[in-house]
Structure 1
Amino acid sequence: MFHCQIRNEALHRLAGALGAIIVVMHVTAIGAAASQETSQANEERREIALSFDDAPRLDGTLLSGTDRTSRLIAELARAGVEGAGFFVLAGNITKAENGAERLRAYQAAGHFLANHTDTHPSLSRTSAEEFLADVDVASEALASFENTLDLFRYPYLQEGDDRIKQAAVEDGLAERGLRNGYITVDNYDWYLQALVDEAVAANHPLDLSVLGQTYVELLVDTVEFYDSIAQETLARSPRHVLLLHENDIAALFIYDLVLGLRDAGWDIIPLDAAYQDEIADKVPNTLFRGQGRVSALAHAAGRAPRELVHIAEDESYLRALFEERGLVP
């Protein structure tokens, strides 16, 4: 009886020890799985920054310039977006009503300003010397503003029509301490605004709900298109930069766009963080740069230009879509 009791107690202790080992193994397995899931989530995280060209734009057909800025600031704040970028067309600072005040309002709201030239010249139609002189005028105009980034964005995304001019401007920008404010996601939001302006001019009834849905669908699909090119070319999703313009439809629908991007799995990041991606230092060995950095890298790797342009950058396609949805006559 005494020996049975000892044996039972020994078995009981052994069972307890085995149970503890099993618990530890189970907890360890859960921790490892969680760590793997976290690592995988970090690897799969998709990030994009918002940038707006040509600020401060003049009055539009739907909003005054002042109202547009106020709405953009309010809607970005409502969406929880910080650190968006506004690439300044310096010649508009004095032309647009409250131009300087509007730029400072963007800064006060926590957004960035950067150089987009003074008169918006196309480098393909301008000498390197004239182009850089225009950049200098814009830099001087921006000198009195705070929260500016040392970024420069080429008008029309045209970085030169020959190698010599391309290199001369790149060297000139580097001497001025300006980095290329490239984009990775191109689109025709400027043409969408032109179609809206056309509808307003024709007194065509404009369904803002349908317009907003169309705007978001087109832009989210374009983001996915250029990210797929990145995945095929770089084997990863870089920190993207979305090209937008400081226009009326951006102010009206930026909140909906942010929600649409997040629903598609995108995190909105500050502009300065986007340019910390390693592709910022990868200068594509090609003249085909007008579709942005990702397409340029893909073209340099051997892909044909026709594969690197989204269908929504075709004006006839967009007009047909707007007609189909009753947005233009």
Structure 2
Amino acid sequence: MPVSPARALRAALAAISLALAPQLHAQSVAFTFDDGPNLAATPRLSPQARNAAMLAALAKHKVQAALFVTCGFGADRPEGLALARAWGQGGHALANHTVTHPDLDSAKVTLAQYQQEVLDCDRVVAALPGYQKWFRFTYLREGNTLEKRNGMRAFLRQQGYRNGYVSLDTSDWRLNDKLVQMLDADPNANVEPVRQAYLAHIRQRALAYRALAQRLQGRDIPQVLLLHHNLINALWLDDVVQQFKDMGWTITTPAQAYADPVYQLMPDRAAPGQSLLLSMGRSLGLSTQDLGLRLMDDGDFEIEALKQQGL
């Protein structure tokens, strides 16, 4: 029976990764955060308090993370730059996430404009302790045309950048929006249901992406987790890290995770706004149904469950 091209490619990728990657004794995860430091006002905690709470949670668990800096959200001002510097001084990596967070999939954003955003952000981040020449695409979107996608891939190679891929994507931002909405309406609101929904969401995504990695690669890969520099993580990052430990996962560093050969792959069919694993699946011809709808929603399941509770 002839072997389909998709099946042959899947087998080849798995064989390469098994040959080159160190065998992990347990599933591992690296913590990364986007859009920080964010100086926007939120209920309960000031920007400085949010930043300090996240760093305290990471220090408590001895986690070395990475902050992908969106310079226009705060690092372009002295008070925000100080918050970013605190990450580097705390032993965390600092990397590039543009200045104004434009969407490369937008017809209004040109390749040249996007590349300039990377260069302008680099001038700020490169001077900070912990700087790594990693770039993460905003919205995890590599462009709405082949010209943009291929142009950015060539640009990153020329500039010496690593693509700051995400494998374990989450919708923490959606649940954060819900949290802020509740507290704006009632500063004394009981937010425990949101905490429980958030932890359940992280657990579901972690298990689903682990299963997808095993399906596509034939092994556990070191997962790169995407979270954001926001209120929900300032309040409950400690719980998120502890949950992974309780699940039996080990915490690795982003640099150690990116050393795995899976993060050298450049899937032909990107899944806009989604993880590397979903893009790999799309490249192998898997459908949305095959990959799993709950990996592609924006926390809709958890938001609907909160609505059923009257929230």
Q: TM-score under structure 2 normalisation?
A: 0.86
Residue 60 (structure 2) aligns with: 78
Query: Are 2:303 and 1:319 aligned?
Result: yes
Residue 118 (structure 1) aligns with: 99
Q: Do the aligned partners of 1:66 and 1:97 also contact (CA within 8 Å) in 2?
A: no
Partners of 1:153 and 1:261 lie apart in 2 by: 24
Give the one of 138, 157, 163 matched to 2:146: 163
Residue 113 (structure 2) aligns with: 130
Residue 136 of structure 1, CA deviation: 0.6
Q: TM-score under structure 1 normalisation?
A: 0.82
Query: C-alpha deviations, 1:196-255, integer Å up to 9, x for none?
Result: 111122227533433322211110110111111111111111111000000011111111
Q: Do the aligned partners of 1:285 and 1:300 also contact (CA within 8 Å) in 2?
A: yes
Q: Which has the larger radius of gyration?
A: 1
Q: Do the aligned partners of 2:36 and 2:229 also contact (CA within 8 Å) in 1?
A: yes
Matches within 5 A, 1:101-112: 101-112=82-93
Q: Do the aligned partners of 2:179 and 2:191 also contact (CA within 8 Å) in 1?
A: no
Amino acid paired to 2:199: V
Flag the structure with higher helix content.
Answer: 1
Structure 1 stretches (4+) deviating beyond 4 angstroms? 94-97
Q: Flag structure 1 segments of 5+ consecutive residues without an equivalent.
A: 1-41
Residue 93 of structure 1, CA deviation: 3.0
Any idea what SS the aligned residue of 2:270 has? coil
Residue 34 (structure 2) aligns with: 53
CA RMSD of superposed structures (Å): 1.8
Q: Do the aligned partners of 1:185 and 1:291 also contact (CA within 8 Å) in 2?
A: no
Identity value in percent? 29
Partners of 2:125 and 2:75 lie apart in 1 by: 12
Q: Do the aligned partners of 2:76 and 2:124 also contact (CA within 8 Å) in 1?
A: no
Query: Are 2:115 and 1:140 aligned?
Result: no
Residue 274 (structure 2) aligns with: 291
Matches within 5 A, 1:142-291: 142-203=125-186, 205-291=188-274
Residue 106 of structure 1, CA deviation: 0.9
Amino acid paired to 2:100: T
Q: Do the aligned partners of 1:65 and 1:96 also contact (CA within 8 Å) in 2?
A: no
Amino acid paired to 1:226: Y
Query: Are 2:80 and 1:99 aligned?
Result: yes
Q: Do the aligned partners of 2:140 and 2:273 also contact (CA within 8 Å) in 1?
A: yes
Residue 319 of structure 1, CA deviation: 2.4
Any idea what SS the aligned residue of 2:71 has? coil
Partners of 1:239 and 1:133 lie apart in 2 by: 31
Partners of 1:194 and 1:230 lie apart in 2 by: 29
Q: Flag structure 2 segments of 5+ consecutive residues without an equivalent.
A: 1-22
Partners of 2:77 and 2:301 lie apart in 1 by: 32
